[in-house]
């Protein structure tokens, strides 16, 4: 029995970037594998299905070519991993491919748990899986293949007689240690890249899902922290290197260093097995200590992405983030001293934020002088506390309306609660990037470290997009 995952053009949510930065971003700054599809593909193969993944974004396929390939493969159904923030970019692909092939569509992802009813208003989508897909997806495919009754499958939604129907939820049962490693043999691994990569091919991994903290702006559900053991993580790293020739791994854990003991075990295991691979992590500055940094560096850590967010302690307080900027300075300094590349994440347009606050953030960014920065316009997203408050106050669930089809409503969300209009925010974002990346000292230092033409080309394109 055949099943196909399609990864459509992976757009970066537009309200967070200016149009130019967004275009560049989707062109070359970041093309990464879709992990939920790769995980589920491996699971389905284990269950005896014949599975394919078409990564149309990475392979730069048109929707027509993707539809043609889908028809040729002729699966029982086609699956899409949905992301709330770009659902309306994925929807035209779902529509076109459904129109051309007529193959039933099954969708899943956190988005389906947040907005099942709104998603199912689109008639091209036949079934939605809410919650975990491990048990539900194989069962759903078998029911579709047999023309059976979907109401017998727990954890799904569908339409019957034009009405929205949801079956009884299915409790979560499996962790990432109970399932096979992602099916990278089905992915175009040599196509993945980011503007900051030095080694190719690269891949993404998650050593833990979720985050136990509760920052007010954060859209990561707080109740789902799930960490894999060091042995399990390193075994996947080893598979990446030995089977797929991968040379750089991007850990996408929300905060890799939450559990110092586990991080230590990962590093010791890597060192004892002599596994040579470059890797990078994301974390909070207050979760960085010098000893762990030193050890991570020895075990291959190349880059740390630090969530600095703002240079204003008042703004940080409202976000329920640590407010001591000394801790941030220390984390960046230690990383630099240990030879680890740094990327600082910043946001502008935060609740209550004024021009003075943004100036403080830019000043801090220049002082920290990370190797890279990423500046996003703040866009409230579900299920964050700030978004929930906004919905309560305004009576509008913006992302629900967006999911129903109103793309423009989201434009109003960028910088909501700050003192900036969307146009002003665009200006600040451009100003921030230019103040940072166009410094002659920055350009010179960066160019000195370029190690390949590919890296140079990516950097040049990104720099041009900031003009
Ligand atoms: C790795 C990762 C990335 C990587 C790789 C892309 C990817 N999607 O894997 C990168 C860095 C590229 C990335 C980018 C982004 N990401 Co991301 N990412 C993740 C992360 C950390 C892990 C995903 C993963 O591997 N999960 C493991 C799988 C097995 O678990 P799962 O995703 O929960 O899937 C289960 C079910 O949801 C279901 N399921 C999932 N998909 C499908 C599909 C079908 C057909 C079915 C039936 C079931 C099903 O079954 C799975 C098994 O039970 C998640 C956080 C998380 N905890 O999941 C965020 C997450 C998916 N990302 C998120 C976001 C917002 C983004 C960005 C928009 C960020 C940005 N501002 O640019 C971009 C969008 C890019 C894109 N189009 O994918 C959000 C999505 C929120 C939402 N409401 O949809 C998440 C959930 C983080 C969060 N807020 O909690 N991301
Ligand atoms: S912002 Fe980062 S640290 Fe805060 S809750 Fe979200 S994932 Fe966790």
Packed helices 355-368 and 422-437: angle between N→C axes, nearest 10 degrees: 20
Q: Which two tokens stand for residue 423?
A: 């146009």
pLDDT tens readout for residues 401-424: 999 999 999 888 988 889 999 889
User: In whole angstroms, what is the distance from residue 331 CA to residue 166 CA?
Assistant: 47
Among the residues of 74-159, which ranges form H helices?
87-101, 110-114, 116-119, 136-146
Res 450: pLDDT: 77
- What DSSP state is assigned to residue 339? T
Which residue among 217, 284, 327 is best mutated to probe the pocket of ligand 2, counting the most ligand atoms within 8 A of its Cβ? 284
pLDDT of residue 349: 95
* Residues 230 and 266 sit within 8 Å (Cβ to Cβ): yes
How far does the centroid of ligand 2 lie from the alpha carbon of residue 216, in Å? 9
Distance 52 CA to ligand 1 centre (A): 19
Work out the number of other CB atoms within 10 angstroms of the CB of residue 103. 20
Distance, in Å, from the CA atom of 409 to the CA atom of 397, rounded to the nearest integer, reads 10
Give me the domains of the chain, ranges plus CATH numbers.
2-166 (3.40.50.2300), 192-379+414-465 (3.80.30.20)
| Beta bridge pairs of residue 79 | 5, 106
pLDDT at res. 109: 97
pLDDT of residue 154: 98
Give the pLDDT score at 90. Answer: 95
Specify the pLDDT at position 467.
59
Residues of the chain predicted below pLDDT 70: 10-29, 454-455, 458, 461-467
80 beta partners: 107
- Given a contact cutoff of 8 angstroms between Cβ atoms, the answer to whether 219 and 382 are in contact is yes
Give the position, in ligand 1's atom list, of the atom nearest the Cα of 172. Answer: 53
> What pLDDT is attached to residue 296?
98
The tokens for 142 are 């078998």
Evaluate: CB of 255 within 6 angstroms of ligand 2: yes
Pocket probe for ligand 2: among 212, 307, 345, 376, the residue whose CB has the most ligand atoms within 8 Å is: 307
Cβ neighbours, 10 Å, residue 441: 8
Q: Indicate the burial class of 178 (C-beta count within 10 angstroms; 0-12, 13-18, 19 or more).
A: exposed
């Amino acid at each position: 029995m055949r099943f196909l995952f399609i990864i459509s053009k992976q757009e970066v949510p537009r309200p967070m970037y200016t149009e130019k930065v967004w275009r560049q971003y989707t062109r070359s700054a970041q093309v990464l594998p879709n992990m939920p599809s790769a995980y589920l593909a491996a699971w389905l193969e284990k269950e005896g299905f014949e599975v394919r993944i078409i990564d149309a974004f990475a392979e730069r396929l048109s929707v027509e070519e993707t539809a043609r390939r889908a028809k040729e493969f002729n699966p029982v159904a086609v699956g899409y991993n949905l992301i709330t923030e770009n659902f309306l970019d994925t929807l035209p692909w779902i529509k076109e491919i459904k129109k051309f092939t007529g193959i039933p569509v099954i969708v899943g992802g956190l988005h389906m748990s947040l907005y099942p009813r709104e998603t199912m208003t689109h008639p091209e989508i036949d079934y939605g899986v809410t919650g975990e897909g491990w048990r539900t997806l194989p069962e759903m495919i078998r029911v579709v293949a047999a023309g059976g009754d979907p109401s017998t499958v727990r954890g799904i939604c569908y339409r019957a007689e034009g009405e929205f129907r949801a079956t009884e939820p299915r409790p979560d049962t499996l962790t990432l240690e109970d399932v096979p490693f992602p099916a990278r043999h089905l992915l175009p691994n040599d196509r993945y890249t980011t503007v900051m990569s030095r080694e190719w091919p690269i891949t993404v991994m998650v050593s833990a899902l979720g985050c136990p903290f509760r920052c007010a702006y954060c859209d990561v559900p707080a109740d789902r922290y799930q960490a894999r053991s060091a042995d399990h993580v390193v075994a996947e790293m080893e598979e990446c290197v030995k089977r797929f020739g991968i040379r750089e791994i991007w850990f996408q854990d929300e905060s890799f260093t939450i559990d110092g003991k586990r991080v230590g075990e990962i590093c010791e295991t890597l060192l004892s097995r002599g596994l040579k691979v470059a890797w990078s992590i994301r974390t909070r500055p207050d979760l960085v200590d010098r000893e762990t940094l030193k050890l991570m560096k020895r075990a291959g850590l190349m880059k740390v992405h630090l969530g600095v967010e703002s240079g204003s302690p008042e703004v940080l307080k409202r976000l329920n983030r640590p407010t001591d900027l000394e801790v941030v300075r220390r984390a960046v300094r230690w990383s630099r001293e240990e030879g680890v590349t740094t990327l600082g994440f910043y946001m502008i347009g935060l609740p209550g934020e004024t021009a003075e606050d943004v100036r403080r953030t830019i000043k801090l960014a220049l002082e920290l002088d990370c190797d890279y920065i990423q500046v996003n316009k703040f866009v409230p997203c579900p299920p964050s506390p700030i978004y929930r408050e906004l919905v309560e106050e305004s009576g509008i669930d913006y992302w629900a309306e967006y999911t129903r089809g109103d793309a423009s409503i989201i434009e109003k969300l960028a910088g909501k609660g700050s003192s900036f209009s969307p146009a002003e925010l665009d200006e600040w974002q451009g100003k921030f990037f230019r103040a940072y990346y166009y410094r002659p000292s920055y350009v010179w230092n960066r160019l000195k470290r370029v190690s390949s033409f590919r890296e140079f080309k990516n950097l040049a394109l990104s720099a041009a997009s900031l003009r």
